[in-house]
Amino acid sequence: MSQSLAPAAATGAETDAEGSASAPSRLRPALVLGALGVVYGDIGTSPLYAFKDAVKAATSGGASVPAAATGAVSLILWSLILIVSLKYAVLILRADNRGEGGIVAMLALLGARQARPGSWKALLLVVGLVGAALLYGDGAITPAISVLSAIEGLKVDAPSLGPYVVPITLVILVGLFLVQHKGVAAIGRVFGPVMLVWFAVLGLLGLLGTLHTPQILAAANPFRAFDFMLHAGVHVSFAMLGAAFLAVTGGEAMYADLGHFGALPIRLAWFALVLPALVLNYFGQGALLISAPDALENPFFRLCPDWGHYPLVGLATMATVIASQAIISGVFSLTQQSVQLGFLPAMRIVQTARDERGQIYVPMVNWLLALATLVAVVMFGSSDALAGAYGIAVSMLMGITTLLAALIALRWGYNPVLVFAVNGFFLAIDLVFFAANSVKILEGGWFPLVLAGAVALMMLTWKKGNELVEEARAALRQPEDIFLAGLQHRDLLRLPGTAAFLSAAEHGIPLHLSRFVERNHALMERILIITALYEETPTVPREQRAHVTILAPGFYRVILRYGFMEEASILEGLACAVESRHLPPHVLDDMTVFVGHETIIPKDDARGMAPWREGLFAFMQRNAERTGAFFGVPTRQVVEVGTEIEI
């Protein structure tokens, strides 16, 4: 989900004429290196906590540490192969929306946004939005557990530092969220090299451990995992599955970052470096526990020679900060897409780099995410405790992704029998892991679910509320021909200049235009009715940006189209219309932009939502970013016309 970091890390990404990154057409080393820092930061730091938690769960039923270690390594190995290598790297990466990935791109590809209420697509939209909301829960937990697990390495050589682990973690995380407004374009370029060193160290430590105790190689046999869980009992097996799943969390970033790197660099980085390094490290940790069962408290750092503990803590801290930054930036990117597709209210989105796409900062989301992350650190206090909260949101997301990928494959005409067989197999695996993680709800799994539930509620309420508002607008909106005919019978004062009225609809007269004429008995010499629409595709070429219809002399309707990965700018769109000669240049002279400012009045009737949801929608609408600012119109050019609407 770390989309916003990609351009900074992958300076070799190709760009189109507008400077937007496009899916790379050929392999470049910079893209592979960039993918290490952006795509694989989360899954790359899983060895810090995933293996030890899996072994602790496996030994809870009385099994010996060496036997549990062998079973855990086998389970993690085949989870990485089945879920990340086969499902994501081979299957899911094919389900791109013109090169873009992510669950919002999937919803756009399936056309779920325009679903009729009560249809199967409407249900699909709810499922997809829940999946998107789960990423927010993941975004709060990942920085907390990653940085905590790195700082806990201090206790290996200095147990007396134990009480300082949480304060140090809080300081690092606060610093990370404080610098978000500066952007990550500069430091993003070092993420790839740092993670390259990290994966090299992972592989080297694991190789040395495996060579010391080669008996661990028996874990390559998947039946070692099956045999262990078969004899361990259902409770222990589920706990072990839930802990082992932590080793594959972060695999979903492969698909989320598809648009910035392309499938080939992502696959090459995974199969050539990341997967071998992770497998070697897990085997090395398992080998260590076979020869030294007392190392269970922190096998990752015990795998390293004593002289290297503190440097490894420093490197691990940098790696977890990179993983956290990737998650935070991914949440920013997801928020931007959700706003543009109408799933969240408009909010302030700051571009932190003018020449690189996706470098954004969302202040409100940053501080809400910071609050949730810091609360998680203080509430749970250790990576072991946080492991109970981690996993359930990602397992649900992976199941939803598999389901949506199956629907996309059917939409593209693949053999239904093949689709059901392949996706059904992976969905069964997802459901097993989800069931295993579900037993951790009382141990902390409720935390990301509460966060995700709150976000999903806001998304669904905002979308439904906007539908109700548009119904109310449509009932009040005049058709163009009636309005224009009425102007012939009015003695209007014609003012110099151009008036641009922003409208949410492609047809009819905006309410604030008809109210302006009704109250002021005046009209500008030139009138533009402008509608900005977000399409179901990532980008729209500039030459297709503007469509202009002449309604009357000096009276134009302008439809501007943008992709869900683009920022809509009214002035840029009008410039495109002039460039393509759809509008005469003088129309943009002395232009004032009129924006409707609607006050929502919740009404207690059966037509709308529950009163408390209508109140929530009204609150969100009052606190949303101003329309003019959201569309990049300078404040001095904006005039707001107020309207009250009952829903």
pLDDT higher than threshold 50 for residue 590: yes
Measure the CA–CA gap between 140 and 129, rounded to whole angstroms. 18
Measure the CA–CA gap between 150 and 207, rounded to whole angstroms. 21
Please, are residues 348 and 625 in contact by the beta-carbon 8 Å criterion?
yes
User: Which helix (H) or strand (E) covers residue 546, if one does?
Assistant: strand 546-552
Give me the percent of the chain exceeding a pLDDT of 70.
94
Neighbour-count burial of 546, counting CB atoms closer than 10 A to its CB (0-12 exposed, 13-18 middle, 19+ buried): buried
In this structure, the number of other CB atoms found within 10 A of the CB of residue 313 comes to 20
Which of 11-25, 39-53, 386-400 has the least mean pLDDT?
A: 11-25
Kindly state the average pLDDT of the residues 359-366.
88
Question: What is the DSSP annotation of 223-243?
Answer: HHHHHHHHHH-HHHHHHHHHH
Whose tokens are 């669950």? That residue is 103
pLDDT higher than threshold 60 for residue 217: yes
Q: Comparing 120 with 169, which gets the higher pLDDT? A: 169
Measure the CA–CA gap between 435 and 453, rounded to whole angstroms. 19
pLDDT bin (cut points 50, 70, 90) of residue 194 is very high
Residue 6's pLDDT is what?
Answer: 41
Q: Which two tokens stand for residue 224?
A: 């070692």
pLDDT bin (cut points 50, 70, 90) of residue 49 is very high
| Residues paired with 646 in a beta bridge | 601
Q: CB neighbours of 189 closer than 8 A, spacing ≥ 6?
A: 8, 9, 11
Q: Which two tokens stand for residue 239?
A: 């706990």
Helix (H, G, I), strand (E, B) or coil at 101: coil
Question: What is the DSSP annotation of 34-59?
Answer: HHHHHTSHHHHTGGGTHHHHHHHHHH
Please, are residues 266 and 89 in contact by the beta-carbon 8 Å criterion?
yes
**How many alpha carbons lie under 13 Å from residue 372 in its C-beta half-sphere?**
24
Kindly state the average pLDDT of the residues 501-513.
92
pLDDT higher than threshold 90 for residue 186: no
Which of 20-29, 281-290, 433-442 has the least mean pLDDT?
A: 20-29
pLDDT in tens, 308-357: 999 999 999 999 999 998 888 888 888 988 898 889 999 988 887 665 55
pLDDT higher than threshold 90 for residue 358: no
pLDDT bin (cut points 50, 70, 90) of residue 70 is very high
pLDDT in tens, 430-472: 999 999 999 888 888 999 999 999 999 999 999 999 888 888 8
Q: Which two tokens stand for residue 46?
A: 């899983």
pLDDT higher than threshold 80 for residue 117: no
pLDDT higher than threshold 60 for residue 513: yes
pLDDT bin (cut points 50, 70, 90) of residue 219 is very high
Residue 541's pLDDT is what?
Answer: 92
pTM (predicted TM-score): 0.84
Measure the CA–CA gap between 91 and 422, rounded to whole angstroms. 9
The structural domains of the chain, ordered by start, are: 3-439 (1.20.1740.10), 472-646 (3.40.50)
Using CA atoms, how far residue 628 sits from 469, 512, 578, 638, in Å, is 19, 14, 21, 7
Measure the CA–CA gap between 161 and 166, rounded to whole angstroms. 10
pLDDT higher than threshold 50 for residue 19: no
User: Which helix (H) or strand (E) covers residue 493, if one does?
Assistant: strand 493-502
pLDDT bin (cut points 50, 70, 90) of residue 183 is confident
The overall average pLDDT reported for the chain is: 88
Please, are residues 564 and 108 in contact by the beta-carbon 8 Å criterion?
yes
pLDDT bin (cut points 50, 70, 90) of residue 257 is confident
Q: Which amino acid type is present at position 99?
A: G
Residue 308's pLDDT is what?
Answer: 92
pLDDT in tens, 376-404: 999 999 988 888 888 888 899 999 999 99
Long-range contacts of residues 478-484, Cβ cutoff 8 Å, at least 24 apart: 478/508, 478/509, 478/514, 479/507, 479/508, 479/509, 480/507, 480/508, 480/509, 480/551, 480/557, 483/509, 483/513, 483/514, 484/551, 484/552, 484/555
